[in-house]
Structure formats: C-alpha cells, structure tokens
Amino acid sequence: MLKKIISEQYMTIARILEIFLLVLLIPLLYNFVSISKDASETLYIDAANIESIVDSLEKNGYTVTLVDKIMIQSDKMPKSGWYRLDKHKYGRFNFFRNIYKYQTETMDIVIYAGETHNELLDRLSNDLKLDRDKLYTQYKTMSKFKEADIFARHYRIARSAKEKSVMLYLFSVSDKILKLFIEKTFKNRPDYFGLKVLLTIASIIQKESNSVQEMPVISSVIHNRLAKNMKLQMDSTLNYGAYSHTIVTPERIKTDTSYYNTYKHKGLPPYPLSTVTLEALRAAMFPEKSEYLFFMLKPDGGHKFCATYEEHLDNIRKFRAYQKQKREEKIKQEKALADANKTSIENNDTDDNKSKPSFEKNVTVLR
C-alpha cells in the first residue's frame, strides 16, 4: 500500500516536472524559429499602430504571430519611418520587442510631375543604385493604372533600401494620399474605372500646364468637350510612353493610330499618361464652371481660353504672328552679333599690323 502511494506521488511529481520543462522549452524553441529567409532587412513602417506595423512587416516578407504582436506592444511602439532590421542577430523575442530602436539613415528624392513610370524607374535605379529590372518587376506587380499610381512629390527613402521595399513605400504613401482624397471627396468609394478616368484626366491636365491656377480651367475644357461628345484634340494625349517628351507634329497626328490620338478618336486615352500632382487630381475632380471649349498658348507661357472656334482661330493667328515676330527678331540679333564679331576681327587685324615693326626701316642697304 505504501509503495503504491509513493509510486503515485512520484508519478505526479514527474508529470509536474515534465509540464514545467515543457513550459520552459516551448518559448526557448520558439525564440529560435526563423523569422524569414527572404524578408527585407530595410523596410518602411507606415504608421505607429499594431495593424500597420504587422501589415508592413508581412508585406516585406516577415511572419508575424500573436506572440510576436505581444512582443511588439510590450515596449515602445515603432513610429512611422524607415527601419533596418538584422533578422539574424537576435532571437525572435528580442527582434520583435526592439524594432522601434532601429531607424535608419534616409535621403530625399523627388518624383516629378509628368514622368512616365519608365523615366521614374530609370532615375530611381541611378540615384539609389538599384537594379532597374527588379524595380520594374515590382512596379508591374503593384501597379493598377500603368501610370499615375505614384504621386509626384518629395519622398524620403532609406539609403539601404532594396527594390521591393522602395516600391512598397512609394505605392503605400501614394495609396494613402489617394484614399484620403477619396474620403474627403466622395460619399461612396468610386470603382476602378472611375478612378482610372479621374487619373487620366488629371494626367492630361498635368501635361498641358503646371500652373495650379490654370488647372481647373483646363479641366473645364476637357469636361465640356466630353459632355458635347467632341474629340479632345489635345497634343498632350500623344505624349504617352516613349513619346512622353516628343514634340507632336502634324505628321505624327496623321500617322499615330493608337487610342491615345484624341485627334482621331473620341473620349479619353485608355490609361493615364504620367505621374500627377494632387493639385491636378483636384482639378480633374472639380473643374471650373465655364463654357470654354478651346485654349491656346500665350506669349507669357499661360493659355488663352475661349468658347467659340472663331475666337480660337483668332488666338492661333495672334500667337503665330508673335512667333513670326520673335523669329525675325532672333534673325536680326544673330545678324547684328555676326556683324559685330566681323568688325571686331577686322579691327584686331588692323591693330596687329600697326604694332608690327616696319621691315624697310630696319634694313641696312649694302653698297
């Protein structure tokens, strides 16, 4: 009987020890579970809340469990910004608990208004010393509209960031800007087609003018023409893709058969043309109320707007007369400069001859 009691007590103690060791062993083993082999060591955390932090980590290749979330919240929460994380240096507990400590050095870059994605990627690969093909692969994966997914503005990027992290950051910030614009502007979120139309109009406005004051007026011309089922007939729509900075000639208008040629096809181009500013997007959404159907460049670089074709023809004649006058003035200036240079050269030759000693005066005649 005594042996049985001792045996039962021994078994109870053994079970308690097993459970105790198991409780100790699980965290120990968990601490050395791989965070991820392919995760980005430099990444951008979008906001200082657990949902955004976890989302940023998972998009950059990290696996985040409930325990990891507890570790992240156990000390200071990481602020929004760039972090460089050495996933091989720490155990899992310390890694997730100390993320907030590892902010990294950054640099400023500019995404210019009116850039195509190819121009944008060329500059990024050069400025950040990144692989251009890898950047393009990431852009193609994340892009919804081919162009205009990334807003034209200043950005701050970690110097050590790689291709995926850079693209995730640019798309994340731009998507946040677009969502905020939608929340302030629409009662119900527009669908993909509605957003594409809005961004396409914004990109046309952006190509036509960088003047924030003119943008709503140009927008009114676009909206008025579309409402009247007129062709847009705008050179800017032919500045797409490889033709982004190419002068649109009459020959190009005749030969370009794409739907970007709004001299031949009614409606908008199939996709946005380039990056846009938030100001251009606002102008696309809120055109000025007007009867304008035409606009023409003015000598000061602005545009003259009008409602009738007769007025438009008159504005064209005036601008061409101005161009002719400027060409004639340029020719006169070049001729005057050439004459002045010629006179200067002749005067220099005369001065050189005067300064030379006379040969005859210095010759001794032998008799």
pLDDT by 10s per residue, the chain, length 367: 655 556 656 566 656 555 554 444 445 566 666 777 678 889 999 887 899 999 999 999 888 888 888 888 888 888 899 999 876 666 788 888 888 888 999 999 999 999 999 999 999 999 999 999 999 999 999 999 999 999 999 999 999 999 999 999 999 999 999 999 999 999 888 999 999 999 999 999 999 998 999 999 999 999 999 999 999 999 999 999 999 988 999 999 999 999 999 999 999 999 999 999 999 999 999 999 999 999 998 888 889 999 999 999 999 898 888 888 888 888 888 787 877 777 666 666 555 555 555 434 443 333 2
Residue 339: predicted pLDDT: 73
CA distance linking residue 44 with residue 79, whole number of Å = 10
Q: What is the pLDDT of residue 364?
A: 33
Structure confidence at residue 359 (pLDDT): 39
| E-only strand ranges, the chain | 42-45, 81-84, 106-111, 153-158, 294-297, 303-306
Structural contact between residues 211 and 283, judged by C-beta atoms closer than 8 angstroms: no
What sign results for the dihedral spanned by CA atoms 101, 107, 108, 114?
Answer: negative
pLDDT at 109: 93
DSSP state letters, 277-307:
-HHHHHHHHSPPP----EEEE-TTSSEEEES
Identify the CA nearest to 74 among candidates 102, 89, 95. 95
Q: Contact 311/327 with Cβ under 8 angstroms?
A: no
Number of H helices, E strands in the chain: 12, 6
